[in-house]
Amino acid sequence: LSALLENEQDLPSVTPDNHSMTLMVNTGLAVDTGASLKSRIGGVGLYRTEVPFMITERFPGEQEQMRMYREQLESFAPLPVVMRTLDIGGDKDLPYFPIEEANPFLGWRGIRVTLDHPEVLMVQVRAMLRASQGLDNLQILLPMVSNVEEVDDALRLINRAIDELGEEGLDVSRPLIGVMIEVPATLYQLEALSRRVDFFSVGSNDLTQYLLAVDRNNPRVAELYDSCHPAVLLALYQLAVESQRLGVPTSVCGELAGDPAGALLLMGMGFQTLSMNVPSLSRVRAAIRRVSFKAATELLKETLALDSPKEVRNHLNLRLKGWK
């Protein structure tokens, strides 16, 4: 089967009834950035900047960060690269910046940390903007947003970085800026957020964790953690409809997007851009090429009528058995 899928990897991700999807990749450390990957994707939907930070011995300086970011942006140019600002805290600790808390996933995490340390955010954003000079394929994504004030504060800092670089004689353009939709509160503030930013990126991993109140890494409750919980699917569906109504480009970059059944459900909801780990690409592409958009919307409709995660899983397995 995988040999079969390999053969398809250069074919477009289009359904039999001609509905086109954009597949992007999630990166952190070096991935296969060869020309072959580039021709098969729409860009990088999520570059997790905390990953390279985890293997250094201290916060990398502006010059060092600029080199890392330049390498990513250059490898994928002219395709867009969505760089997320540092998302530490929760399960991701830097050895040189330990955070000890009783409830790390509800604590000092993502944008909360970097707004408390604006110098960290400023260095990072300056490095990104400098790295993008002449390429202009940078987009900046803000993680763990739970409040519009965080967005306003971050935008102020990004604007300040742009002004500073301008004063230093560099010609930097303003990148597109987006917010991660991963804290349930943001689902109810999409309109307010849409007035502030250019795009949304749905973090289905954290959205699942926070909607279900299940620690995504705790084996004791692992069975309760399921992005196919009907409540999560309904939230995602409403989000797809609402972001379309608002005209905000919205992609999904959590694990659900890299799961063929999940990808079909997301397609049925109306999401057109999915970002996933490189190894998931061929299976998701194959699913899209085999299942019509019409069938995906029907699958979604059937699924949304079910009451429990288990029923959803069983139903998906049954319906998709043919090509899985």
Nearer to ligand PEP, 182 or 288 (CB): 182
- The answer to whether 240 touches 216, Cβ cutoff 8 Å, is no
From the number of C-beta atoms within 10 Å of its C-beta (0-12, 13-18, 19+), residue 2 rates as exposed
Give the nearest distance from C-beta 46 to ligand PEP in angstroms: 6
- The answer to whether 39 touches 10, Cβ cutoff 8 Å, is yes
Long-range contacts at 114-120 (CB < 8 A, ≥ 24 apart): 114/85, 114/86, 114/154, 115/150, 115/153, 115/154, 115/157, 118/157, 120/59, 120/86
Nearer to ligand PEP, 83 or 162 (CB): 83
Nearer to Mg ion, 87 or 158 (CB): 87
CA dist., res. 288 & res. 126, Å (int) = 39
Q: Give which of ligand PEP, Mg ion, none residue 300 binds (C-beta under 5 to 8 Å, depending on kind).
A: none
Give the nearest distance from C-beta 84 to ligand PEP in angstroms: 8
Q: Which stretch binds Mg ion (CB under 5 A): 192-200, 201-209, 280-288, 313-321?
A: 201-209
Torsion of CA 189, 193, 199, 200, to 10 degrees: -30
- Contact call for residue 43 and Mg ion (CB under 5 A): no
Task: Single out the residue of 203, 258, 268, 309 in contact with Mg ion (rule: CB under 5 A).
Answer: 203
Give start and end residues of each alpha helix (H) in the chain: 2-7, 35-38, 50-54, 62-76, 111-116, 118-131, 148-167, 184-187, 190-194, 204-212, 230-246, 260-269, 281-290, 293-304, 309-320
Print the binding letters for residues 168-187 with Mg ion: x by CB under 5 A, - otherwise. Answer: --------------x-----
Print the binding letters for residues 245-284 with Mg ion: x by CB under 5 A, - otherwise. Answer: ----------------------------------------
Give the nearest distance from C-beta 26 to ligand PEP in angstroms: 7
Q: Which stretch binds Mg ion (CB under 5 A): 2-10, 129-137, 204-212, 234-242?
A: 204-212
- The answer to whether 262 touches 256, Cβ cutoff 8 Å, is yes
Q: Site residues (CB under 6 A) for ligand PEP?
A: 46, 48, 87, 182, 203-206, 253-254
Q: Give which of ligand PEP, Mg ion, none residue 250 binds (C-beta under 5 to 8 Å, depending on kind).
A: none
CA dist., res. 19 & res. 40, Å (int) = 17
The single-letter DSSP state of residue 273 is E
Give the nearest distance from C-beta 80 to Mg ion in angstroms: 20
- The answer to whether 280 touches 258, Cβ cutoff 8 Å, is yes
Nearer to ligand PEP, 48 or 229 (CB): 48
Residue 84, strand partner residues: 48, 141
Task: Single out the residue of 50, 206, 215, 226 in contact with Mg ion (rule: CB under 5 A).
Answer: 206
Q: Give which of Mg ion, ligand PEP, none residue 109 binds (C-beta under 5 to 8 Å, depending on kind).
A: none
Q: Give which of Mg ion, ligand PEP, none residue 48 binds (C-beta under 5 to 8 Å, depending on kind).
A: ligand PEP
Give the nearest distance from C-beta 300 to ligand PEP in angstroms: 20
Characterize the bridge pairing of strands 250-252 and 273-276.
parallel
Give the nearest distance from C-beta 288 to ligand PEP in angstroms: 20
- Got the DSSP string for 199-248? EEEE-HHHHHHHHHT--TT-GGGGGG--TTSHHHHHHHHHHHHHHHHHT-
Give the nearest distance from C-beta 253 to ligand PEP in angstroms: 4
Give the nearest distance from C-beta 205 to Mg ion in angstroms: 5
CA dist., res. 232 & res. 226, Å (int) = 8
Interface residues with Mg ion (CB under 5 A) are: 182, 203, 206
